[in-house]
Amino acid sequence: MNEIIHRSKTRPVRVGNLTIGGSNEVIIQSMTTTKTHDVEATVAEIKRLEEAGCQIVRVACPDERAANAIPEIKKRINIPLVVDIHFDYKLALKAIEGGADKIRINPGNIGRREKVEAVVKAAKERGIPIRIGVNAGSLEKRILEKYGYPTADGMVESALHHIRILEELDFHDIIVSLKASDVRLAIEAYEKAARTFDYPLHLGITESGTLFAGTVKSAAGLGAILSKGIGNTIRVSLSADPVEEVKVARELLKTFGLASNAATLISCPTCGRIEIDLISIANEIEEYIAKIKAPIKVAVLGCAVNGPGEAREADIGIAGARGEGLLFRHGKIVRKVPEETMVEELKKEVDKLAEEYFAK
């Protein structure tokens, strides 16, 4: 297993039964696409997200019907619930009262001081944090006038404006996001934010696109930020089923050794030496290990020429040979298995390793 890369120190902030920041964990979150007032559909989607590895879920709260649905949704799910509100402090109060574990609202957009105070007081009483969401596309007019166009300095200045409003009310359970759809702008903004304040950072590249293009764009941007030790929670935004967002986030965290609860697949690119139907086997094994909650590395290789040696970081693997498969551990072949049963054998070995991991 990879060493977890260094994370910048931030303040720990509790969200339900989880802590964002402060520790090494980077928490995966996603957002539902259903109408929040449709409790059945929203809960069903959250269950699918939970199963895929989503650790915190956010729902939009555009109106009173949505706010009224919060208590019932909260009752029926197992992961912390974040409620996303724009401007309307009454909806924020309702969401907090309804059991939200965190709200996303920009205090500078709430309006009169008494309204801000009411929201902060309610959040304090319930011990829930507030996420400030800065978006390059909706910066305050005065900031845009000052900088001429969205810049990292302008985004951090906007974040500080909202942070100060909360700090003046002695509220510090703050999480901040600085999203931009321009990858380089997002990287610069997050780097600058990490140097400027120590509140945990929620990472995101917004409006990144469809499943394929958005995955590449998110991986490039979020990967660059994560590799610098920045980021405490992550949401991949895709124009796709949100389950895909969770899958991409998990894969990204695994790449940086930041997911301690997921297995990884190593598979060869295939070439003319291939001896097995590698692509379908790799897909089958990938699907199988998605449910494994141990940091095991599993390799699937098309032949035994160099593969097992090259995949020596794998805890377990299979390499195709004529009419059979070679099972190997850490680069060393341990036994031969018939071709017809090699996938099943590999799955059994994976289960065994997972059991051993949890028995430790």
The footprint of ligand SF4 (CB under 6 A) covers 268-271, 273-274, 301-303, 305-307
Q: Which is nearer to ligand SF4, 127 or 269 (CB)?
A: 269
Q: Which is nearer to ligand SF4, 115 or 330 (by Cβ)?
A: 330
Q: Choose between 77 and 305: whose C-beta lies nearer to ligand SF4.
A: 305
303 is in an annotated binding site: yes
Identify which of 2, 6, 3, 1 has the alpha carbon closest to the alpha carbon of residue 227: 6
Closest to ligand SF4 by CB, 253 vs 281, is 281
Question: Is 271 marked within a binding site?
Answer: yes
* b/e burial code for range 251-280 (CB count within 10 A of at least 16 → b): bbbbebebbeebbbbbbbebeeeebbebee
- Closer residue to ligand SF4 (CB): 50 or 310: 310
In the complex with ligand SF4, the residue whose CB is nearer, 83 or 268, is 268
Phi/psi at 65 (5° precision): -60, -40
Strand partners, 203: 234
Judged by beta carbon, residue 97 or residue 277, the one nearer ligand SF4 is 277
Which of 106, 173, 169 is CA-nearest to residue 140? 106
Nearer of residues 229 and 331 to ligand SF4, judged by Cβ? 331
CB of 275 to ligand SF4, least distance (A): 7
- In single-letter form, the type of residue at position 277 comes to D
Q: Which residue is associated with the tokens 């994976």?
A: 350
Tokens of 183: 């990858």
Q: Which residue is nearest to ligand SF4 (CB)?
A: 302
Please state the closest distance from residue 320 (CB atom) to ligand SF4, in A. Answer: 7
Burial of residue 282 (number of CB atoms within 10 Å: 0-12, 13-18, 19+): buried
> Collapsing DSSP states into helix, strand and coil, what is residue 63?
coil
Q: Minimum CB separation from ligand SF4 for residue 307, in Å?
A: 3
| Four-CA torsion 205, 250, 101, 154, nearest 10 degrees | -20
Identify the three-state secondary structure at position 336: strand
Task: Give the shortest CB-321-to-ligand SF4 separation in angstroms.
Answer: 10
Alpha-helical runs (H) found in the chain: 39-52, 64-76, 89-97, 113-126, 141-147, 152-168, 183-196, 211-227, 242-255, 278-289, 307-310, 342-359
**Proportion of the chain in helix, strand, coil states, percent, rounded to 5:** 45, 20, 35
Smallest separation, CB 297 to ligand SF4 (Å) = 16
Smallest separation, CB 56 to ligand SF4 (Å):
39
| The token pair that represents 248 in the structure block | 């991409």
310 is in an annotated binding site: yes
What the block records as the tokens of 292 is: 């494994």
- What single DSSP character describes residue 210? B
Residue 319 CA, distance from chain mean position: 32
* 54 annotated ligand binder: no
Q: How far is the CB of 305 from ligand SF4 (least distance, A)?
A: 5
Tell me the closest approach of the beta carbon of residue 316 to ligand SF4, in angstroms: 16
Binding-site members are 268, 271, 303, 310
The annotation places the binding site for [4Fe-4S] cluster at 268, 271, 303, 310
